[in-house]
Structure 1
Amino acid sequence: MAAKGVRRTRGTIQDFPDFDANQDAETLHKAMKGLGTDEAIILDLLTQRSNAQRQQILIGYKTVIGKDLVEDLKSELSGTFESLIVALLISPDRYDAKELHDAVKGAGTSEDVLVEILASRNNSQIHQIVKAYKEDFDSDLEDDLTSDTSGYFERVLVSLVQGNRGETEADPSLAVEDAKALYEAGENAWGTDEERFISILCSRSAPHLLAVFDEYRKINDIDLEDSIGSECSGNLQCVMLAIVKCIKNTPAYFAEKLYNAVKGAGTDESILTRILVSRSEVDLVEIKAAFKAMYDVTLHSAIVGDTGGDFRETLVKLCAGDD
């Protein structure tokens, strides 16, 4: 199964040239059989293959070894390292679906996970996630969201999970109207018209919303984020801010989340895992640049300073250099 071509992305992980899934499968099997497991070989190999290639390795492993690679890895590894390695072997849509399912079906609802994924994915990705969720968990994502959330926060999530955001260029005259509508619904109103915020922020295209944000600043002389901070609270504020930040600069949004994950009270390994796995083939190069620009420290050094063991080494490989 040799690779026919090499895709290039703004991610740190690319297709591995001269790829052979069956050979990789045998290498992984050798690393796990006998006394002890060679974790270095496992993490080194899997972080040098794209997700599409890892999917082929799963098939190759079952073909040449006659066993399930994920099950073998789970029996040999443990802790955060195991979770990270297994995450690398899940396709992007199914990984997002799994994270969303864990967020609503675990002990309590992890609202921050719902916000992060649904606010940052495009229409096509949302549709794939909804489909994968149904296939993998025999449940409807929208139904699970509505049963675990409430109020305007629930309504924002339901709007986002439709994957029906506009995809047109900015309409200058409508951008002015939308900016005025947001101003009238928030800063210039007695109370906040949350429905107007939801309608505009969840349905307009990204280029159009950028124009709306510019017009809003002209009208109100402050950024929309500042208005959301003063007009909304709790989970609604969190999801509204995430939408605006992702529209403005998605890499900066993820850089901020990563920084908070390593610099808060204790390291949040789940956030590090989710973001580095899900963005490694999308825009992790840009996230790294944003991280350095925003915090004057490299993502690589932040990870090295706040994690350890094979988990750290895998994250460092995904990060691909201290630049």
Structure 2
Amino acid sequence: MAAKGVARTRGTIHDFPDFDANKDAETLHKAMKGFGTDEDIILDLLTQRSNAQRQQIIIGYKTVVGKDLIDDLKSEISGTFESLIVALLYPPARYDAKELYDAVKGAGTSEDVLAEILASRSNAQIHQIVEAYKEEFDSNLEDDLTSDTSGYFERVLVSLVQGNRDQTDADPDLAVEDAKALYEAGENAWGTDEEKFISILCSRSVPHLLAVFDEYQKINEIDLEDSISGECSGSLQCAMLAIVKCVKNKPAYFAEKLYNAMKGAGTDDHTLIRIMVSRSEVDLVEIKAFYKAKYDETLHSSIVGDTGGDYKDALVKICAGDD
């Protein structure tokens, strides 16, 4: 029971009580048949069911309607609203796999997406993503990454996609050694020893890396993030910073990404949808808290001010409150 209680405080979407997959399937079908589509019913229902329940609704829809729910939704809705609703219907590992596939197979490579997903997922999640990628696209994720990226950025991704990060507690003596090694590889070197950064940041456990970061600041009086920003550039910097930020505070990392997706001219809807959907049952409550603390406005108010229509209404439902 305790574990369930903890989960409820971290995500904004939970299992819907008195759930009936076939009844929900019939409700969605009625919302789409006839003249016009009732978007409010679609967004209300699907944003208030957990992902596991949505998978049952997909099966229920085929059972009671004899058609594919996602195909029917795509024929009835469009634009960013369609993208968001369809994203909600993917199982988490398949959704991550799809985002990675789009990042390497689309026009150009979305290095930021590759870094975000691979730096923020656990070993077990990465193994599930690799399996889902193979199943969905009949392709090997590591092979696709290596064919589409290069240099030290490619090596970071290859390391992360192994899903083999150490899981042990911090080793205080080794933390001092690692901090010194990072200092000697960067701030105290002529040029940067990228291999040393990759070796430590991609393989050590999260508790150990937190200890390394503390020791690094003692040696150098500079935060490792600042050192990486000065020592690396481009896609390698993006990946290294994603790792460090996720180790330090994953909800704060995603809060920053959401803020950047909505600030300035235009909205990065792709990033907004991906993070809101993928974190909705994980830690969106914490992301909201860090967002408000850092940017002095709520995530809810940013969404309302930056989006519109059914798309906005669905995002607001996922956000679950202006707090």
Instruction: Please say whether Structure 1 and Structure 2 have the same fold, judged by a TM-score greater than 0.5.
Output: yes
Distance in 1, matches of 2:142 and 2:21, equals 37
- Tell me what 2:267 maps to: 267
Distance in 2, matches of 1:302 and 1:83, equals 20
Distance in 1, matches of 2:199 and 2:169, equals 18
Residues 272-291 of structure 1 mapped to structure 2, 5 A cutoff:
272-291=272-291
- Tell me what 1:223 maps to: 223
1:80 aligns with 2:86: no
- Tell me what 2:240 maps to: 240
Shift of 1:284: 0.1
Distance in 2, matches of 1:276 and 1:135, equals 25
Distance in 2, matches of 1:157 and 1:182, equals 19
- Tell me what 1:307 maps to: 307
- Tell me what 1:156 maps to: 156
Instruction: Report how many residues are paired.
Output: 319
Please list every run of 5 or more consecutive structure 1 residues that lacks an aligned counterpart in the other structure: none
Shift of 1:9: 5.3
Conserved? CA contact 2:9–2:285, under 8 Å: no
1:295 aligns with 2:295: yes
Distance in 2, matches of 1:265 and 1:56, equals 39
TM-score scaled by length of structure 1: 0.98
Residue-by-residue CA offset, 1:251-286 (whole Å, 9 max, x unaligned): 010000000111032111111100000000000000
1:57 aligns with 2:70: no
Question: Partner letter of residue 87 of structure 2?
Answer: A
Distance in 2, matches of 1:298 and 1:235, equals 30
Report runs of 4+ in structure 1 exceeding 2 Å deviation: 5-9
- State the identity as a percent: 84
- Tell me what 2:68 maps to: 68
Residues 1-323 of structure 1 mapped to structure 2, 5 A cutoff:
8=8, 10-323=10-323
Partner SS, residue 227 of structure 2:
helix
Question: Partner letter of residue 271 of structure 1?
Answer: T
Partner SS, residue 258 of structure 2:
helix
Distance in 2, matches of 1:100 and 1:32, equals 31
Residue-by-residue CA offset, 1:53-83 (whole Å, 9 max, x unaligned): 0000000000011110000000000011001
Conserved? CA contact 1:9–1:282, under 8 Å: no
Residue-by-residue CA offset, 1:227-247 (whole Å, 9 max, x unaligned): 101111111011101100000
Conserved? CA contact 1:9–1:281, under 8 Å: no
Distance in 2, matches of 1:23 and 1:47, equals 16
Distance in 2, matches of 1:271 and 1:40, equals 23
Question: What is the Cα-based RMSD across aligned positions, in Å?
Answer: 1.0
Please list every run of 5 or more consecutive structure 2 residues that lacks an aligned counterpart in the other structure: none
Question: Partner letter of residue 18 of structure 1?
Answer: D
